[in-house]
Structure 1
Amino acid sequence: MSTQNQIDYHRIAKAIEYIRTHYQFQPGLEEIAENVHLSPAHFQKMFTDWAGTSPKKFLQFISLEHAKNLLKEEKASLFDAAYETGLSSTSRLHDLFVTIEGMSPAEYKNGGKNLDINYHFSESPFGNIMIASTEKGICYMAFEINKESALGNLKAQFPNASFSEKQDQLQRNALSIFEKDWTRLNNIKLHLRGTDFQLKVWKSLLSIPMGKLSTYGNLASKIENPKASRAVGTAIGSNPVAFLIPCHRVIQASGHIGGYRWGSERKQLILGWESSHIYSGDEN
């Protein structure tokens, strides 16, 4: 991410944090712009370019009431219906294109021995990102600031693998998920190291359409283990692939956002960004 993009991203993040913490007072454009030291006109343009909607509309998307309404919309059949509409629904397009293949028991047990992993640092609307892939698919994706610690985290996941810093087509295809024209996406394949239970939870996350939300309890019920909310939460917290496996769409039953492996502020950013792209047609 360029220096200017980093500055813009942090300003947007600061603005959204201000909106989130002052939502009950309904801050206006001038007040938010002043908080990030920009003129109202400049801030309005920067924010709209990033979010695809106005600060005022975005404020609605990240409110507690919006989250509660989304949870109310979740139907019992959501888990089974997530794939039924093909390409007809933009809100489901993201998830239709992501498939998960678990690593073999041997690959899981030996920490990635004989695996060749390519990794690359890139940028996203939500900050710098590291993405890594095997010949079968994406095996790791995380929002990272420091490259050295990021590589250390990746190697901890696959202590016996071989690593090369280079970008491949699998990575480029996956990163295209951040573009606005999702109709041109190819299938995104993930090659993940996890227990059977973790893989089941991660696959269930793909059933939550973009712009919608679920809770830990609902996910536990949908994988036919209603008493496993705590275990589901642990599996979600160990998700190795940011954004593509949408663990950010799981919130508390109260409507509060809750925690996130890569920061609750970033989770708020992502949820607002997704809602703005799904509901931008409702802009007044």
Structure 2
Amino acid sequence: MTRDLTVNYYRIEKAISYMTANFKQQPDLDEVAEKINLSPFHFQRIFLDWVGLTPKKFLQYLTLDYLKNSIHQTQNVIEAANLAGLSSQSRVYDLFVNIEGVSPQQFKSAGVGLEIFYGYHASPFGICFIAITDRGICDLHFIDENSDRKEYEVFSKKWSFAQLNHRPDITQSYIQKIFKPGENAQEKLNLLVQGTDFQVKVWEALVNIPFGVVRSYQQVAAQLGYANGIRSVASAAGKNPILYLIPCHRIISKDGTVGDFQYGKVRKRTMIAWEMASLAV
């Protein structure tokens, strides 16, 4: 089951990469299925299982015009927060996330002996590495099969003062809470992060972007009172240590392009569209 989930994600990612590159030609089911070496029937069944929509319907959430309009819609939601609509609907899927931020030096002096459990698990977006402490989740990253697996090496250096234990039996329950929106949304997830005050402020702003909603770097910078600090916001987003839960994938360029993402633009597009499509199911 776990292997099937992982294999299917990479099939879907490959299909989405092809669809986004050729969306103006509106490739049909047979054409996309052929590109990933599946029958049209098998491809559509996998896609429906993954997101609940056909590939054709899903494609609309990947277009530049749609994402650009979504940014403007987000601004309207912010200005009229009491109106029913996308914001209230998306909150049904939101997890309650709280960030506890400390500087690396503060934590290094106070965190000696901290016990951290970590594991590798399948997710809707491929294999992920997750690490938790009794104070909260402290890492979540995705892993590509065709790249070097350096997540543990990087993580262990950052948390060298802690005791690290491979316990996927413990971390699996967190994966279920994170990637099943709506089923466990009432439970609060605490995040333990190392970062500067500014980085933590940016990460907190990202957490407040609702499920299925996108905002521009400019909007986030203005919200934080740094209207001219777009690059600083982008840099802080790029250093996000807990992907998905700190949803840096929900921040895009104002022209509708998705911008950079440390684990690939295709995965970022996929995550954005998956959330938007989930609201439409």
Matched AA of 2:112: K
Aligned to 1:275: 276
Aligned to 1:71: 71
Partner SS state of residue 182, structure 1:
coil
Q: 1:41 to 1:148 in 2, by over 3 A?
A: closer
CA-to-partner distance for each residue in 1:223-267, whole Å, 9 max, x for gaps? 111111111111000000010111001111110111101111111
What are the residue-to-residue correspondences of 1:3-14 with 2, within 5 Å? Answer: 3-14=3-14
Q: How far apart are residue 63 of structure 1 and its match?
A: 0.9
Q: How far apart are residue 103 of structure 1 and its match?
A: 3.0
Matched AA of 2:120: F
What are the residue-to-residue correspondences of 1:231-270 with 2, within 5 Å? Answer: 231-270=232-271
CA-to-partner distance for each residue in 1:78-137, whole Å, 9 max, x for gaps? 39959x99xx94512454511111136754354953322111111101100111012110
Aligned to 1:36: 36
Task: Answer with 182-191 or 59-68: which moved more.
Answer: 182-191
For structure 1, the 5+ residue unaligned runs are none
Q: 1:206 to 1:148 in 2, by over 3 A?
A: closer
Matched AA of 1:248: H
What are the residue-to-residue correspondences of 1:89-108 with 2, within 5 Å? Answer: 89-103=88-102, 107-108=106-107
Q: Which whole-Å CA distance do the structure 2 matches of 1:207 and 1:143 have between them? A: 22
Q: 1:67 to 1:48 in 2, by over 3 A?
A: same
Matched AA of 1:44: Q
Q: Which whole-Å CA distance do the structure 1 matches of 2:234 and 2:137 have between them? A: 22
Aligned to 2:143: 144
Partner SS state of residue 135, structure 2:
coil
Q: How far apart are residue 168 of structure 1 and its match?
A: 6.8
Q: Which whole-Å CA distance do the structure 2 matches of 1:130 and 1:266 have between them? A: 16
Matched AA of 2:140: M
Aligned to 1:119: 118
CA-to-partner distance for each residue in 1:155-194, whole Å, 9 max, x for gaps? 1322222211114767623542212543554111111111
CA-to-partner distance for each residue in 1:176-214, whole Å, 9 max, x for gaps? 221254355411111111111111000000121111111
The percentage of aligned residue pairs carrying the same residue is 37
TM-score normalized by structure 1?
A: 0.88
Q: 1:136 to 1:79 in 2, by over 3 A?
A: farther
Is the Cα contact below 8 Å between 2:123 and 2:175 reproduced in 1?
Answer: no
For structure 2, the 5+ residue unaligned runs are none
Is the Cα contact below 8 Å between 1:177 and 1:185 reproduced in 2?
Answer: no
TM-score normalized by structure 2?
A: 0.89
RMSD: 2.7
Is the Cα contact below 8 Å between 2:92 and 2:182 reproduced in 1?
Answer: no
Partner SS state of residue 32, structure 2:
helix
Aligned length: 277
Q: How far apart are residue 19 of structure 1 and its match?
A: 0.5
Q: 1:148 to 1:214 in 2, by over 3 A?
A: closer
Q: Which whole-Å CA distance do the structure 2 matches of 1:262 and 1:79 have between them? A: 32
Q: How far apart are residue 41 of structure 1 and its match?
A: 1.4
